[in-house]
């Protein structure tokens, strides 16, 4: 796990997944994890939404759900981290066991169900962590038993907007009943419009309008993809995250837990999520920044995501299997690929292969 070295990671992998996760977070929180010392290669610096990213590699939502270790995680070398998913009220999530390692496949299945401490506690923790030495986003969602999910999104958006650099609306987790219905065109348009109206009177942690992004599912048909792109363009959405975990099960999965219910993440998603990324890049004609997620295990993977249309890249599952050294390895390899291909910066590469998918 993050910041614990090869031996520490091996020990954690012997523990049940959630136990290992909490142990890693506590070690980060209490300063027992190492931090990166080297500067990022200048060629991988990137500017997006008026924010300066030292590098394009971000930690996806789901690791630090409760904003317990914001500063230590940034010190690991990420260009950005995303906390959450955050709901208005605390909730415990689904019954355990609910996280399963698929070690033979480099994957994980989870059915956590938005377990978190609630927006008030997380907001206070974010306030204490400022100013950030990197970019910090928050991923928001509704409580499972909410009578008014739209108001839940609005509540979290309002509370967290002044404390973070961008906000992500999660409408794609497979573990909250009814959540993916928000990807329907009319529902999504109403949701985005409501939050756009609300942010008119708010500013982000660095001033100015807070960027609003939507995280979509990988299991979208052609019609849904077109509707999401249409809403994103019509509503001037700031970005899309592509993509969340999948409910599908590739036939080549080998691990014994492969048929557990929940969302699958990790290496098996790379091809399908990258293809969706390129498709959405084409549908919005490159006019909206995209964050590529799904199966990134190396600098070459990150480079392919960027060439397919990602302005930024996020990962999580790969860290469970490869440890913290992966972050530096990805950044160095990404810089090597850019230099080898004659590019001076990330922005020159975004989307150049999108037409090939």
Element (H, E) at 242: strand 239-242
**pLDDT over threshold 50, residue 96:** yes
Average pLDDT estimate for 43-65: 96
Give the SS3 label for residue 86. Answer: strand
Domains of the chain by range and CATH? 41-356 (3.20.20.70)
pLDDT band at 1 (very low <50, low <70, confident <90, very high): very low
- Nearest-angstrom CA–CA distance, 166 and 51: 9
Residues 240, 290 contacting (CB under 8 angstroms): yes
Average pLDDT estimate for 145-159: 96
Quote the distance between the C-alpha of residue 241 and its chain's center. 7
- Nearest-angstrom CA–CA distance, 107 and 217: 17
List residues with catalytic annotation: 173
> Taking all residues of the chain, what is their mean pLDDT, rounded to a whole number?
92
pLDDT band at 9 (very low <50, low <70, confident <90, very high): low
The pLDDT tens digits of the residues spanning 313-325 come to 999 999 989 888 8
Q: Count Cβ atoms below 10 Å from residue 150 Cβ, excluding itself.
A: 15
- Residue 313, token pair as written in the block: 């890249």
pLDDT band at 11 (very low <50, low <70, confident <90, very high): low
pTM of the predicted model as reported, rounded to 2 decimal places? 0.94
The pLDDT tens digits of the residues spanning 194-243 come to 999 999 888 777 877 899 999 999 999 999 999 999 999 999 999 999 99
- Nearest-angstrom CA–CA distance, 296 and 319: 10
Strands 51-53 and 46-48: antiparallel
**pLDDT over threshold 60, residue 3:** no
């Amino acid at each position: 796990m993050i910041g614990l070295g090869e031996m520490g990671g091996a020990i954690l992998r012997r523990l049940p997944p959630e136990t290992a996760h909490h142990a890693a977070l506590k070690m980060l929180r209490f300063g027992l994890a190492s931090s990166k010392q080297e500067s990022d290669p200048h060629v991988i610096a990137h500017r997006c939404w008026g924010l300066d990213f030292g590098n394009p590699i971000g930690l996806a939502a789901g690791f630090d759900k409760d904003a317990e270790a914001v500063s230590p995680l940034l010190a690991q070398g990420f260009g950005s981290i995303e906390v959450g998913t955050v709901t208005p009220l605390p909730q415990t999530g689904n019954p355990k066991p609910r996280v399963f390692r698929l070690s033979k496949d480099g994957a994980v299945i989870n059915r956590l169900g938005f377990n978190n401490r609630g927006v008030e506690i997380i907001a206070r923790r974010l306030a204490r962590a400022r100013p950030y030495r990197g970019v910090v986003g928050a991923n928001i969602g509704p409580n499972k038993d909410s009578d008014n999910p739209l108001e839940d999104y609005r509540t979290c958006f309002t509370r967290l907007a002044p404390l973070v650099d961008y906000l992500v609306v999660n409408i794609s987790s497979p573990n909250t009943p009814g959540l993916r219905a928000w990807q329907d065109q009319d529902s999504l348009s109403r949701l985005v419009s409501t939050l756009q109206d609300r942010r008119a009177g708010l500013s982000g942690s660095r001033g100015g309008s807070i960027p609003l992004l939507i995280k979509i599912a990988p299991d979208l048909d052609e019609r849904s993809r077109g509707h999401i792109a249409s809403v994103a363009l019509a509503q001037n959405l700031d970005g899309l995250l592509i993509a969340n975990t999948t409910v599908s099960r590739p036939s080549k999965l080998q691990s014994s837990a492969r048929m557990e219910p929940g969302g699958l993440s990790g290496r098996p998603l790379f091809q399908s999520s990258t293809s969706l990324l390129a498709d959405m890049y084409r549908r919005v004609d490159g006019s909206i920044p995209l964050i590529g997620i799904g199966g990134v295990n190396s600098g070459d993977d990150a480079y392919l995501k960027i060439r397919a249309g990602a302005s930024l890249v996020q990962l999580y599952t790969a860290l469970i299997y490869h440890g913290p050294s992966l972050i530096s390895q990805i950044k160095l390899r990404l810089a090597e690929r850019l230099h080898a291909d004659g590019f001076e910066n990330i922005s020159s590469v975004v989307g150049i292969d999108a037409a090939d998918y």
